[in-house]
Amino acid sequence: MKKTKPKPSWKRRLIAAPIVLFAALYPLIAFAEDAAEGDGYQSAMYMTFWSLVPPLIAIVLALITKEVYSSLFIGIVVGGLFYADFSPEGAFLEVFNKGFVGSLTDPWNVGIIIFLAVLGAMVSLMNRAGGSAAFGRWARTNIKSRTGAQIAVIILGILIFIDDYFNCLTVGSVMRPVTDPHNISRAKLAYLIDSTAAPVCIIAPISSWAAAVSGFVEGEDGFMVFVRTIPYNFYAILTLVFLFGLVLLKVDFGPMRKHERNAVQGDIYTTPDRPYAANEEIADDGKGKLIDLILPILLLIVGCVIGMIYTGGFFSGNGFVDSFSDSDASVGLMLGSASALIVTIIVLSVRRALPFKVCMEALPDGVKAMVPAILILTMAWTLKTMTGDLGADVFVSDLMEGSAEGLQNMLPAGIFLVAVGLAFSTGTSWGTFGILIPLVVEVFAETDPKLLIIGMAACMAGGVVGDHCSPISDTTIMASAGAQCNHVNHVSTQLPYALLVAAVSFVGFVVAGLVRTPIPSLLLGAALVVGLLFVLRKKYGAVAEEQPETQQRGVG
């Protein structure tokens, strides 16, 4: 019998389509004028809607194909072609020379990569010393249920409010030994981590986010303006309400429901891939002590705080709060984590908890475990470079300025939606703040100070929503790394939850723009969130609490 060739799946066709299109058009675009590399060059697509297309292509492909690396790369290539006006040589130089090389030589990005590598090494040390296993034994004794384990993740996430990167990786490292024995899916853990990172930092006065936002408010007391926006930051506050309600009512819906149901049956991954398998916990020999986990974490916290205030001039006479406002989070986290790593190795060696030779062997293993996160981050940064060179930020800024005359009467809900769209498509909330906050200040500072606060809060909340939902967001990538979860699984399961809270927040900003006070919006928003959770529980039922001990083994 003649064998028939299997037809390629529609997902493969979707990925191959841009490549085939490029090959078909090559004879035409090969003769296009090479992109200029000198100063002042602007693409024909600069400051147009097309500047937003490359990240949208990457996002849509990632959600459809469930494959993040090729999706990001295709988005990068499209951005390079757009920038170079379809000149192959110009696109190649833009993608690799200015894109990848530029991203990997940017001091901020290098600091974050070093921080990631050090965190991976710290986790490897804690695992080999038995600290993670000891914490797992303690947790099994003191945390009796899936609900208790998830609440513990939320509380720890709230307590680590200094920086979202630090939050994601620290909470993930500490809580995986707690959530795995209770058969909580890695996708759910990633969501809990992500939802207590940026949403908590954006309402914490002492955090790297407060420092960033304060720096964008020119002509005003940036720190005091930030503090006054906290009650109006409905997305951040309602996300916390949603988290506790979700866990206590045992409600799950959308793709997350499948992951949680599989986890209860013993499969905490659902999909077959294990992107961070190189850093899985070492088998418990019973010799590890709790101090081997607690001490490195405390050293990390203290080291990172000192590192951040050091870069902000604290030891040169600057005040503590001002030092946070003036800090360089990338350098501070790098210096703090590196110092913590050195001290941890010394302490473990002196205590003979881990021989020095084994400590050295643990370092490359920990760094290797962070390679997937570093690779995704590098590609996300490169895609942001493409978007920036195409003038996406200027395009959105001009749209806002073009409507400045009517912005006086524009409800904060409109600013919220613009911020969501910009942060989602570019993958950066801080970039969104830098574009929109100065515009909001310019329009409202002299005419309506009350609406200035609400408008800024709407901008900040919208930026966090877009950052929370976007597959190319640094924080979303970090949350996947912290939970050691497939990145696309994290994005697809988190999206319905984040959008539900975002929709309620939109209603809150509509009300706030009318009544000019946060209390009615917060009460209405909290009531809507809890009410929707009860409706979803009635529709889908509660996820089973615990399974017999013999079924709680699916963590490999």
Q: From CA 123, how far away is CA 108, in angstroms rounded?
A: 23
89 DSSP 8-state letter: H
Structural tokens at position 185 = 């899916």
- The one-letter code for the residue type at 188 is K
Residue 452 above 60 pLDDT?
Answer: yes
Q: How many CB atoms lie within 10 A of CB 172?
A: 29
Q: What's the pLDDT score for residue 239? A: 96
Q: From CA 532, how far away is CA 527, in angstroms rounded?
A: 8
Spatial neighbors of 432 by CB under 8 A, at least 6 apart, are 419, 422, 423, 426, 459, 462, 463, 466, 467
Q: From CA 544, how far away is CA 420, in angstroms rounded?
A: 34
Spatial contact of 217 and 225, defined as CB atoms under 8 Å apart: yes
121-146: average pLDDT? 83
Q: What's the pLDDT score for residue 60? A: 81
- The one-letter code for the residue type at 322 is D
Spatial contact of 171 and 157, defined as CB atoms under 8 Å apart: yes
State the helix-helix crossing angle for 107-129 and 291-311, rounded to 10 degrees. Answer: 160
Q: From CA 439, how far away is CA 456, in angstroms rounded?
A: 10
Backbone φ and ψ of 45, nearest 5°: -95, 5
82-111: average pLDDT? 88
Structural tokens at position 20 = 């085939």
Residue 165 above 80 pLDDT?
Answer: no
Backbone φ and ψ of 555, nearest 5°: -110, 10
Nearest to 44 by CA among 57, 58, 29, 59: 29
Spatial contact of 185 and 268, defined as CB atoms under 8 Å apart: yes
Q: From CA 480, how far away is CA 169, in angstroms rounded?
A: 9
Distances (CA, A) of 206 to 179, 233, 347: 29, 16, 30
Q: From CA 522, how far away is CA 501, in angstroms rounded?
A: 12
State the virtual CA torsion across 21, 27, 28, 30 in degrees, nearest 10: 100
CA atoms within 13 A on the CB side of 71: 22
- Which residue bears the tokens 């959770």? 533
Spatial neighbors of 274 by CB under 8 A, at least 6 apart, are 280, 484
Residue 223 above 80 pLDDT?
Answer: no
Spatial contact of 323 and 332, defined as CB atoms under 8 Å apart: no
State the helix-helix crossing angle for 186-195 and 487-515, rounded to 10 degrees. Answer: 30
Spatial contact of 427 and 384, defined as CB atoms under 8 Å apart: yes
Structural tokens at position 64 = 């459809």
257-264: average pLDDT? 92
pLDDT tier at 112 (50, 70, 90 boundaries)? confident
Calculate what percentage of the chain has a pLDDT beyond 90: 28
Q: From CA 348, how far away is CA 356, in angstroms rounded?
A: 8
For residue range 263-272, what is the model confidence (pLDDT) as tens digits?
999 889 988 8
Q: From CA 556, how far away is CA 553, in angstroms rounded?
A: 8
Computed over every residue of the chain, the mean pLDDT equals 81
Nearest to 72 by CA among 63, 83, 81: 63
Backbone φ and ψ of 439, nearest 5°: -65, -45
Q: From CA 32, how far away is CA 276, in angstroms rounded?
A: 43
Spatial contact of 474 and 212, defined as CB atoms under 8 Å apart: no
For residue range 458-468, what is the model confidence (pLDDT) as tens digits?
999 999 999 88
Structural tokens at position 143 = 């945390």
Structural tokens at position 39 = 């100063």
Spatial contact of 185 and 264, defined as CB atoms under 8 Å apart: no
Q: How many CB atoms lie within 10 A of CB 53?
A: 19
Structural tokens at position 59 = 């996002």
Q: From CA 177, how far away is CA 282, in angstroms rounded?
A: 11
CA atoms within 13 A on the CB side of 105: 7
CA atoms within 13 A on the CB side of 29: 17
Q: From CA 243, how far away is CA 164, in angstroms rounded?
A: 17
Residue 181 above 60 pLDDT?
Answer: yes
- Which residue bears the tokens 């920036």? 388
Spatial contact of 491 and 476, defined as CB atoms under 8 Å apart: yes
Residue 336 above 50 pLDDT?
Answer: yes
Spatial contact of 93 and 106, defined as CB atoms under 8 Å apart: no
Q: What's the pLDDT score for residue 215? A: 61
For residue range 346-384, what is the model confidence (pLDDT) as tens digits?
999 998 888 999 999 888 988 887 787 788 778 878 888
Q: From CA 87, how far away is CA 31, in angstroms rounded?
A: 8
Q: From CA 364, how far away is CA 361, in angstroms rounded?
A: 6
Spatial contact of 540 and 523, defined as CB atoms under 8 Å apart: no
Most confidently modeled of 59-73, 216-230, 336-350?
Answer: 336-350
For residue range 514-537, what is the model confidence (pLDDT) as tens digits?
888 899 999 999 999 999 999 999
